[in-house]
Structure 1
Amino acid sequence: MENYNAIPRGVGQSRTAEIDAGLRAHMNKVYGTMSIGMLLTALAAWAISGLATTTDPAAAVAQMPNGKLLTSFGQVIYGSPLQWVILLAPLAMVFLFGAAINRLSAAGAQLYFWVYAALVGVSLSSIFLIYTSYSIAQVFLITSIAFAGLSLWGYTTKKDISGWGSFLIMGLIGLIVAMIVNWFLQSPAMAYAISGIGVLIFAGLTAYDTQTIKNTYLQHAQHGDKEWLGKAAIMGALSLYLDFINMFIMLLQLFGNRE
């Protein structure tokens, strides 16, 4: 894959400055959209967990093994077949997004992403039933620092890391297979290994996706297709959002303190 870290030769100074400014605006939109998505995820997870649990025994309809009291709402979303819909809906939306992106406008794609982020928050709300709030906040901070450093390196490095893509995708497929196998085995040692390897895979994907977003913009900036660039920013935000969320989950499984 050709490296587009440098502006193509033959482009005038004014055009180069225009592309540089466009790249900064593009990356700001990517990170801004991702940040709003993360905020929606956090708010949805916090709100749903608050509605699902109670400290009043009289208002509880069920009790978890760790002592958490569930409301009737919590019993429905965590103890009925609806939990599978909540779990699988975000996954279905990711696949549908890839198929629908060409038919959606840039504004439509952005709304789709925000709805998706809120649904992820609903599916992740159960972490508040499993881990302490302090532990979740601590791991979120660690993930944020690691993500920022990896993304910054992916953006600024002169090294072409496009070759990482095939290895990272292969590793991701192997990780998914291992998770499915361990769903039946329920091996704590295997779960720990999966989380550790998962952190490395999503760390690599963070740097790789950041450089890919940058290079894709530089490749297509010459055409001036604003509608395409708007959609590309949403797709880039989704890629980095998924890297962050998955790295956070893996780190939480490794270092989170359970209730």
Structure 2
Amino acid sequence: MNNFDEQPRRVINADVGLNRFLTKMYGWMALAVLISAVAAMFASTTPELMGLFAGHYAFLPLIIWFAFPFIVTSQAMKRPSLSFVLLMVYALLTGGILSMYALVYTGTTIASAFVSSATVFIVMAAYGAITKRDLSRVGAQATAALIALVVAMVINIFLHSSLIAYVFSFVGVIIFTALTASDSQKMKKIYLQSDGSSTSTTGLAIIGAMQLYLDFVNLFLFMLRIFGGAGNRD
């Protein structure tokens, strides 16, 4: 056996496996976004569904919405198929909840925010997957900043300052821009450290798709608040 041929062969196999993993992860994330977009458009034109998300029991979809990501990620490595279905159901529910923004913002504002968010996301996700720079510190700092932002946003609920809320929107965009890149790199590293089995790869792809989907949704919501300065119907 020619030992000189083994190392290049291993590298090629690793690259092929990584490419398959990234394609699966980003593909499922994109599918979730598509489902949310379609669900949002459908719900915004269906009064019965709008009533579900805006009525007296609107807190029920919100509770489920906050709980689902934990369920999806906890089941990903044990039951990948179930976790994938739950991810798509979560995307469907998110679309219904996001349809409420059609009551506040114009279609042009929503479309502008979506295109801007998608552009930023694609660029930063690609950067995170390609760059050799270690982004783990960036991710840790962004996570700490996110916690501080959430606390500040809760405080601003009582202050009712639209200016502070507007500034927070820019901070949120910066945070989730950084998280998109760091999460992309983190999932790549986790895959390279995994055993490469089919179940492991599928589970990790679902976890990554869930995390990146949340990054995109939050990025979109903050972008929407920024663009909403000109498109608000109030």
- Same-fold status (TM-score > 0.5): yes
Cα drift, residue 182 of structure 1 = 1.8
Aligned mates of 1:46, 1:137 — CA distance in 2:
12
Task: Name the counterpart of 1:246.
Answer: 218
| 1:196 is aligned to 2:164 | no
Larger helix share, 1 or 2: 2
Cα drift, residue 102 of structure 1 = 4.2
Task: Name the counterpart of 1:171.
Answer: 145
| 1:81 is aligned to 2:56 | yes
Aligned mates of 2:21, 2:74 — CA distance in 1:
23
Aligned mates of 1:213, 1:75 — CA distance in 2:
38
Match of 1:39 among 23, 28, 34: 34
Match of 1:184 among 153, 158, 162: 158
**Identity of counterpart residues, as a percentage?**
34
Could you tell which deviates more after superposition, 247-256 or 181-190? 181-190
Q: Which runs of 5 or more structure 2 residues have no equivalent in the other structure?
A: 1-5
Q: Which runs of 5 or more structure 1 residues have no equivalent in the other structure?
A: 1-10, 53-71
What is the total number of aligned residue pairs between the two structures?
227
Task: Name the counterpart of 2:116.
Answer: 142
Task: Name the counterpart of 1:6.
Answer: none
Aligned mates of 2:139, 2:124 — CA distance in 1:
15
Match of 1:97 among 58, 64, 72: 72
Aligned mates of 2:151, 2:197 — CA distance in 1:
39
CA contact (8 A) 1:143 1:244 kept: yes
Aligned mates of 2:216, 2:22 — CA distance in 1:
16
Q: Deviation above 4 Å: which 4+ runs of structure 1?
A: none
Larger radius of gyration: 1
* Pair 22,51 (structure 1): closer, same or farther in 2 beyond 3 Å: same
Aligned mates of 2:52, 2:43 — CA distance in 1:
12
**Local SS of the residue matching 1:33:** helix
CA contact (8 A) 2:39 2:96 kept: yes
Q: CA RMSD in A?
A: 1.7
Task: Name the counterpart of 1:158.
Answer: 132
In the TM superposition, what whole-angstrom CA distance separates every residue of 1:114-158 from its partner, at most 9, and x where no partner exists? 001111111111011111111111111111111111111111111
| 1:27 is aligned to 2:22 | yes
Aligned mates of 1:205, 1:15 — CA distance in 2:
31
Residue type of the alignment partner of 2:197: D
CA contact (8 A) 1:27 1:233 kept: yes
Task: Name the counterpart of 2:3.
Answer: none
Aligned mates of 2:133, 2:77 — CA distance in 1:
31
**Local SS of the residue matching 1:163:** helix
**Local SS of the residue matching 1:159:** coil
Residue type of the alignment partner of 2:15: D
TM-score (norm 2): 0.91
CA contact (8 A) 1:48 1:122 kept: yes
Aligned mates of 1:227, 1:74 — CA distance in 2:
38
Residue type of the alignment partner of 2:74: A
Residue type of the alignment partner of 1:142: S
Cα drift, residue 215 of structure 1 = 1.2
CA contact (8 A) 1:86 1:122 kept: no
